[in-house]
A and B are shown apart, each in its own frame.
Chain A
Amino acid sequence: EPEVTQTPSHQVTQMGQEVILRCVPISNHLYFYWYRQILGQKVEFLVSFYNNEISEKSEIFDDQFSVERPDGSNFTLKIRSTKLEDSAMYFCASSQADEQYFGPGTRLTVT
């Protein structure tokens, strides 16, 4: 069964460093998303991407964040200058219609 994959599973970085989280969505899906879950909090929406552009973004998704689909398979989330409060699980999701399918997540730890 097709699935969304994410790398790395765990990323540790120092405050102020740039990180890139990678995702491979399900191959015939057209809509791509990033969510995050801070420990003990709800899963929260960051950004959605369709037809090579951002379709919606949350207040969290400020100028420090960017997304890219550099080729036909990968979907990346870049955080330019990480802060301590960026520590969270980051989930990539993809969909063909209304049901979104999630990857296993990347645990980002900012020290």
Chain B
Amino acid sequence: DQQVKQNSPSLSVQEGRISILNCDYTNSMFDYFLWYKKYPAEGPTFLISISSIKDKNEDGRFTVFLNKSAKHLSLHIVPSQPGDSAVYFCAASAGGNKLVFGAGTILRVKS
């Protein structure tokens, strides 16, 4: 199932700088997109979401951008902190039911 793709397996960023995590999707029926953060041996933690009627949603240090024409979304974290080091999953839903997840991107924030 390749409907949601996170093409970068890992990303390394210096503390204080911006982290940009990317996600592409193929299913044009997706109308809601979410980002989750996951630490080892824990469940995914909801971070931020965006509806397909918007192109940007901001919550503190986290901003999600949606480009529907390109079927692309990104998560910006600024400034990045060492505690942000985790696996980040992009997920999408069509009609508010099951989530389809990407493979995840490992973010390492170096102090």
Interface mask (B1-29 → A, CB under 8 Å = 1, otherwise 0): 10000000000000000000000000000
A100 lies within 8 A of B99 (CB): yes
The CA of A105 and the CA of B41, in the complex, are separated in Å by: 8
**Which of A11-19, A37-45, A68-76 participates in binding chain B?**
A37-45
Residues on the B chain within 8 Å of A55, using CB: 97
B44 touches A42 (CB 8 A): no
Establish whether residues B98 and A33, one from each chain, have CB atoms under 8 Å apart when the complex forms. yes
Q: Is A85 an interface residue (CB 8 A)?
A: no
List B88-111 residues whose CB lies under 8 Å from chain A.
89, 91, 93, 96-104
Is B65 in the interface zone, CB < 8 Å from A?
no
Taking CB atoms, residues of chain B closer than 8 Å to A91 are 43-44
Of the four ranges (under 10, 10 to 19, 20 to 34, 35 or more), the interface on chain B belongs to 20 to 34
Known A98-B93, A102-B36; contact A43-B101, beta-carbon cutoff 8 A: yes
A17 and B17 CA atoms in complex are apart in Å by 51
Residue of A56, A58, A98 contacting most chain B CB atoms (<10 Å): A98
Q: Does A4 contact B34, Cβ atoms closer than 8 Å?
A: no
Q: Which A residues are in CB contact (< 8 Å) with B34?
A: 98-100
Kindly state the separation between the CA atoms of A56 and B96 in the bound complex, as whole angstroms.
Answer: 11
Residue A87 at the chain B interface, CB threshold 8 Å: no
Residues A102 and B96 in contact in the complex (CB < 8 Å), given A42-B102, A42-B103, A43-B89: no
Interface residues of A in 21-59 (CB under 8 A from B): 33, 35, 42-45, 48, 55-56, 58
A102:B98 contact, CB within 8 angstroms: no
Interfacial chain A residues near B98, Cβ < 8 Å: 33, 45, 48, 56, 58
Pick the residue among A4, A48, A56, A98 that contacts B43 (CB under 8 A): A4
Q: Which of A45, A56, A99 contacts B49 (CB 8 A)?
A: A99
Query: Given A44-B1, A48-B97, 5 more contacts at CB 8 Å?
Result: A4-B43, A42-B102, A45-B98, A55-B97, A56-B98
The 8 closest A-B pairs by CB, nearest first: A102-B43, A45-B98, A43-B101, A102-B44, A104-B43, A98-B32, A105-B43, A42-B101
